[in-house]
Amino acid sequence: MSGNFFADLHAVFEENASRPCFIFSRGGGWTFADLEERIGQACGVLLRSGVKPGSRVVAQVAKSAEAIALYLACLRIGAVYVPLNTAYTSAEVQYFLDDADAALFVCDPDGTDVVAAGTLTLDAEGEGSFTQTMAHTEPFTGIVARSKNDVAAIVYTSGTTGRSKGAMLTHENLRTNAVSLSAVWGWQERDVLLHALPIFHVHGLFIALHCALLGGTTTIFMPKFDMEEMLLWLPRSTVLMGVPTFYTRLLANPEFSKDTAKAIRVFISGSAPLTEQTFAEFEARTGQKILERYGMSETIINTSNPLDGERLAGTVGFALPGVETRVADDAGNALAADEVGMIEVRGQNVFAGYWQMPEKTAEELRDDGWFITGDLGTQGSDGRLSIVGRSKDLIISGGYNVYPKEVEQVIDEISGVQESAVFGVPHADFGEAVVVAVVARPDAAVVDIAVIDAALDGKLARFKQPKIVLNLTELPRNAMGKVQKNVLRDTHADLFAGQAS
């Protein structure tokens, strides 16, 4: 059996040739035979451009079905696909092209002014563009043999400090995770995936899409999250995979009702924490419990709440088949149940290391296979995992550990608070001081420190209570909906500057 994950997908595409693969939310669509044809043509272009097995193909392209064909073509010819966030600037793109030593760079015609050795634009119109060339190129219909441990993709982590690291994912990582997720989420022949996520990240490109492709099922392909289109297509879909902001946005719209949601058999959330409040409000509105799962660029998906068992708000569920999770101390000793420590993951989903960064790899991947995730959490005696926050977001105030999530949960319950982010800033006396940024509900008054104090008193120890409250209109977030605490920390670093201890 070939180790090339594309071989598995190819068998499904052939079996389901005449079925709809993509329905474009703004009209038109592709069958699996159409997809297969485009992949063959894209392979032809890649080969003509000198791409070889193992070559890196870097793509910074808008979301399109052609971009999916490009990704799958890379798998097929054994090249390594390197997706880039469309928000990256030319200077950032240049770093990735150099770092990945790209054989080919595919970009939008107006997207970037980077000039790389081999550059093709992914555009239906332009002369010499990828799509134009595709139409005139002899398709390649073979499948290049790969071993299961060969690298299929390099996903650059959205690192906020230092150089961004390229996580090398193998064909086996992609295959086993797709197979496990299809089983754990009970993928069915009649499933219709509503796809509104970006495709430069593991969530949209691998997690969501692989389930649909491997199942030979239909994907409603939406260029991006658009409320009107969501309301139109939800009743015609059965699975939604989203980031928590999808769910808060839906809830903010009074037109989103139990009726709109009733065709969906499972709403799945990940990439950032889903608050207990959103979980509860969603259940109250639709009667459905959002299924939260936990993953990352280096390991795709680690854990998931169960499809049939109890979905618990504030937890990310149990390890997938073939995956182990533990909560450990710095030396890698497993802690007792419910103790807070570093979440570590081992198994068939764990990446092969960081591209050309052996020291970084050695720092985060233990010799016995455990990957140190950088997330703090607890694990119950039943194996259920909960995330407390990123270790770098941990606040140490007066020598005591403050886990931001614990404080945010209490503040989020205050009426008038829409959401909050707790973070630490330098303080002469305490080392770090606890600060909270609050976004008030549209019709609510500004939340002052007296309100926060009153809500927290008696519930949380004094050292955990914020010293300052900042009222913001929104929290800084990245494309995957993660609150950027580093931005909050940097912007407000001087809050206590000049205060004598």
Stretch that binds ligand AMP, among 68-76, 169-177, 270-278, 395-403 (CB under 6 A): 270-278
Taking the complex as a whole, the smallest distance from the CB of residue 301 to ligand AMP amounts, in Å, to 9
The Cα–Cα gap between 253 and 274 comes to 18
User: Nearer Cβ to ligand AMP, position 216 or 273?
Assistant: 273
Contact pick of 86, 271, 349, 409 for ligand AMP (by CB under 6 A): 271
- Based on the shown chain and the rule CB under 6 A, indicate whether residue 294 belongs to the binding site for ligand AMP: yes
- Based on the shown chain and the rule CB under 6 A, indicate whether residue 393 belongs to the binding site for ligand AMP: no
Binding mask 122-161 for ligand AMP (x = CB under 6 A): -----------------------------------xx---
Taking the complex as a whole, the smallest distance from the CB of residue 480 to ligand AMP amounts, in Å, to 6
- Provide the token pair at 108: 């939008």
Biggest distance spanned by C-alpha atoms of the chain: 73
The Cα–Cα gap between 411 and 425 comes to 19
- Based on the shown chain and the rule CB under 6 A, indicate whether residue 272 belongs to the binding site for ligand AMP: yes
Identify the burial level of 83 via C-beta atoms within 10 angstroms of its C-beta, where 0-12 means exposed, 13-18 middle and 19 or more buried.
Answer: buried
- Based on the shown chain and the rule CB under 6 A, indicate whether residue 47 belongs to the binding site for ligand AMP: no
User: Nearer Cβ to ligand AMP, position 292 or 364?
Assistant: 292
Asked if 166 and 100 count as a contact pair (C-beta separation under 8 A), the reply is: yes
Length of the chain: 501
Residues in contact with 306: Cβ distance below 8 Å, sequence separation at least 6, in sequence order: 184, 291, 317, 318
Contact pick of 166, 204, 295, 353 for ligand AMP (by CB under 6 A): 295
Stretch that binds ligand AMP, among 102-110, 120-128, 267-275, 451-459 (CB under 6 A): 267-275
Stretch that binds ligand AMP, among 36-44, 56-64, 289-297, 451-459 (CB under 6 A): 289-297
User: Nearer Cβ to ligand AMP, position 158 or 356?
Assistant: 158
φ, ψ for residue 353, nearest 5 deg:
120, 175
φ, ψ for residue 73, nearest 5 deg:
-65, -40
Taking the complex as a whole, the smallest distance from the CB of residue 295 to ligand AMP amounts, in Å, to 6
- Based on the shown chain and the rule CB under 6 A, indicate whether residue 301 belongs to the binding site for ligand AMP: no
Asked if 264 and 241 count as a contact pair (C-beta separation under 8 A), the reply is: no
Name the β-bridge partners of 58: 82, 105
- Based on the shown chain and the rule CB under 6 A, indicate whether residue 289 belongs to the binding site for ligand AMP: no
Q: Pick the closest to residue 197 from 156, 225, 236 (CA basis).
A: 225
Contact pick of 297, 325, 409, 465 for ligand AMP (by CB under 6 A): 297
The Cα–Cα gap between 279 and 289 comes to 7
DSSP alpha helix (H) spans, 315-419? 358-364, 404-412
- Provide the token pair at 116: 């790389």
Taking the complex as a whole, the smallest distance from the CB of residue 460 to ligand AMP amounts, in Å, to 21
Pairing relationship of beta strands 218-221 and 239-242 according to DSSP bridges: unpaired
User: Nearer Cβ to ligand AMP, position 143 or 357?
Assistant: 357
Please give the residues from 348 up to 377 whose contact with ligand AMP meets the rule CB under 6 A: 373-375
The Cα–Cα gap between 303 and 305 comes to 7
Contact pick of 215, 270, 347, 404 for ligand AMP (by CB under 6 A): 270
Q: Is 315 helix (H, G, I), strand (E, B) or coil?
A: coil
DSSP H or E run through 193: strand 192-195
- Based on the shown chain and the rule CB under 6 A, indicate whether residue 316 belongs to the binding site for ligand AMP: yes
User: Nearer Cβ to ligand AMP, position 276 or 281?
Assistant: 276
Identify the burial level of 372 via C-beta atoms within 10 angstroms of its C-beta, where 0-12 means exposed, 13-18 middle and 19 or more buried.
Answer: middle
User: Nearer Cβ to ligand AMP, position 129 or 379?
Assistant: 379
Taking the complex as a whole, the smallest distance from the CB of residue 347 to ligand AMP amounts, in Å, to 16
Stretch that binds ligand AMP, among 84-92, 293-301, 406-414, 444-452 (CB under 6 A): 293-301
User: Nearer Cβ to ligand AMP, position 65 or 155?
Assistant: 155
The Cα–Cα gap between 107 and 351 comes to 26
Binding interface with ligand AMP (CB under 6 A): 157-158, 202, 270-273, 292, 294-297, 316, 373-375, 387, 390, 480
